[in-house]
Amino acid sequence: MKSYALLLALLQLAVLTVTAQEPVLHPQTANGHLHSRSVRMDSLREVHRHRIDSITAQRYYGVKVDTTYIRRPSEKWTLKLRINTSGSGMDARGLSGSSRFHSSLQADFRNTLSISAAYRGLAAGIAFNPAHFKGQNNSFEFNMNSYANRYGFDIAYSSNKTYNGTIDRDGLKAHINRGDLYQQQLNINGYYAFNYRRFSFPAAFSQSYIQRRSAGSWLLGLSYQWNHINADSVSGKRGAVSLRMHNFAIGGGYGYNFIPHRRILIHMSLLPTMILYSHITMFNGPQRVHLNYKIPEIIVTGRGAFIYSWKHCFIGSTVVYNYSRVGDEDKLLLRSLKWRVRTFWGIRF
C-alpha cells in the first residue's frame, strides 16, 4: 500500500508539472489571473512533494530496529561510484565410456563501471562494460539484489563463451580453447536473518543502514541453480557433452558484522544449503546419461565486506560467491564457482 501511494503521488506531481508548463491559449486573460493560477500550481506541487517525502520517510524510518546497534543514515541521498569484477570456474571429472577424464576451466574476468543514486533506500543506477567498446565482449551478465535486515536475495544470470583450460583424459592432457564450451547459468539465493533488529545486511552491502555495534545472526537460506552447458571438448569428443540441470536447496548459516572501530565495518557470512531436489539431463553424444542424486550435493553462498566511513563519505569492497557440488565421479562430478567483487566510493547528502 505504501508503494502504491508513493506511485500515485509521483503521477499526480508529474501531471501538475506538465499542466503548469502548457502554453497560454488566451492572451486576453488578465495578468492577475495568470499570476493566481501560477501560485495555485506551485502550491499544489509543493503539497505533493511534501506528500511524497512523507511517504518515503515513513517507509524508510518505519522499520523497528534496536537503534543501539543499527540506525538509518540521517541524510536522504546516497551517491555511489562502483567498479565491478566477476568471474567463474568449473571443475568436471568422471567417466566417458571406459575412459576417465578431469577438466579444469576458468572464464575471463568481466569488469564493469557503474554509478547509482538512492533516495531513502530507493535506488537506480547505470553500468557499462569497457570491453563493449573494444569488441572483445563474449559474455553477458545480469545481477540484481535486494538487501533488507530481515530478508533479502541475490539473482545472478550469466551467459559465457570465454571458458578455457585443460582436460586430462587417461593421462593425456589437451587444451580447451575459448569457444569450445558455452555456459548459461542462473543463481538465486535468499536469506532470512533471525536477529534482524540488531544485525544488518544492508549496512554492509547497500549502506542504507549504519551498524553501530558488533552483532550477528543465524540465517535461513534458500538456493536455486539452473545450469546449461554445451561442451565440444570436455569429454574428448567434439560435440560430445550437453548438460542441463535444476537444483533447489535449503539450509542455514550465520552472519556477523564486526565493528572494531566506529568508522570500520567488517562483514562475514556463510550460508550452506543442501540440495533437496535435483533434475539433470545429460547427453554424451547421442546417448543419454542418467545421473542419480548422491549425498552430499550442496550449494554454498558466502559474503564478505569491508567498509570505512568518515564524515559523509564511505569507501569499501564487497564479495559474493556461489559454490556448488553436484554428481559423483562414477559418471560426472561437477563443481562450479561464481563470484563477484564490488569496490566503491560513496557520499551521503
* pLDDT score at 4: 46
Q: Please, which residues have CB within 8 angstroms of residue 196's CB and are 6 or more apart in sequence?
A: 65, 148, 149, 150, 217
Cα separation, 259 vs 199, in Å, equals 11
* pLDDT score at 329: 79
Mean pLDDT of the chain, nearest integer: 82
Cα separation, 51 vs 94, in Å, equals 63
Cα separation, 202 vs 262, in Å, equals 17
Is the Cβ–Cβ distance between 303 and 323 less than 8 Å? no
Q: Which fold would CATH assign to domain 70-348?
A: Lipocalin (2.40.128)
How would residue 2 be classed by pLDDT, with cut points 50, 70 and 90?
Answer: very low
Pairing status of strand 139-147 against strand 70-71: unpaired
**What are 32-57's pLDDT values in tens digits?**
555 565 556 566 666 656 665 666 66
